[in-house]
């Protein structure tokens, strides 16, 4: 399928305690990238910048069905996180300082897209060696250019 040029807004919130909605950290990214429709959803891809701490990497967020999101990063730091409702996945999360194993448990996945805008909201809990790192919520909005 064809890749289309798009404008991307990504808001990420991290909470230290999944049961307490006091925001620990919030980041907002406004960038350009591509959108590719797939059989089960779509893939949004963009280049990271120095501001994200992952300069030199390309990140993709794939809606791979109504209950599955795959977030991948390639380049200087590589990772592949599977967020699937009802399942815990283990993956290697790469940073510029090294890799570590994490457990990822989906909390919610909502595709709020319409014919003009792709909008995806999802949340997941991350742990390292069964020690809680936090709850992460992401809101992705993609508009055609």
Question: How many angstroms from the chain centroid is the CA of residue 40?
Answer: 17
- Residue 76 structure tokens: 């200087």
Q: Scanning the structure block, which residue is given the tokens 């897209």?
A: 113
- Phi and psi, residue 114, nearest 5°: -130, -165
CA distances to 35, 49, 71, 140 from 145, in Å: 11, 20, 23, 16
pLDDT of residue 21: 74
Count CA within 13 A, CB hemisphere, residue 48: 21
- For 26-46, how does the pLDDT look when each residue is reduced to its tens digit (9 = 90+)? 999 999 999 999 999 999 999
When pLDDT is cut at 50, 70 and 90, the band that residue 110 belongs to is: very high
- For 57-100, how does the pLDDT look when each residue is reduced to its tens digit (9 = 90+)? 999 999 999 999 999 999 888 889 999 999 999 998 877 677 88
Of the two residues 141 and 2, the one the predictor is more confident about is 141
User: Is the Cβ–Cβ distance between 42 and 62 less than 8 Å?
Assistant: yes
- Residue 45 structure tokens: 């891809």
Helix (H, G, I), strand (E, B) or coil at 15: strand
- For 111-137, how does the pLDDT look when each residue is reduced to its tens digit (9 = 90+)? 999 988 999 999 999 999 888 999 999
The residue length of the chain stands at 145
In CATH terms, 3-144 corresponds, of 3.40.630.30, 3.40.50.720, 2.40.128.20, 2.60.120.560, to 2.40.128.20
Per domain, the residue ranges of the chain are 3-144
pLDDT of residue 1: 62
pLDDT of residue 118: 96
User: Is the Cβ–Cβ distance between 51 and 63 less than 8 Å?
Assistant: no
What is the pairing mode between strands 117-128 and 88-95? Answer: unpaired
């Amino acid at each position: 399928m064809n890749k289309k040029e798009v404008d991307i807004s990504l808001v990420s919130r991290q909470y230290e305690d999944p049961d307490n909605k006091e925001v620990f950290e919030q980041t907002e990214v406004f960038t350009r990238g591509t959108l590719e429709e797939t059989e089960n959803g779509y893939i949004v891809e963009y280049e990271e910048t120095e501001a994200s701490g992952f300069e030199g990497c390309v990140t993709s967020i794939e809606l791979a069905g109504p209950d599955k999101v795959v977030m991948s990063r390639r380049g200087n730091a590589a990772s592949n996180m599977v967020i699937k409702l009802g399942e815990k996945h283990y993956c290697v999360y790469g940073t510029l300082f090294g890799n570590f194993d994490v457990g990822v448990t989906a909390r919610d996945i909502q595709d709020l897209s319409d014919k003009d805008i792709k909008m995806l909201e999802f949340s997941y809990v991350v742990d390292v060696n069964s020690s809680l790192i936090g709850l992460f919520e992401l809101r992705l909005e993609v508009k055609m250019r």
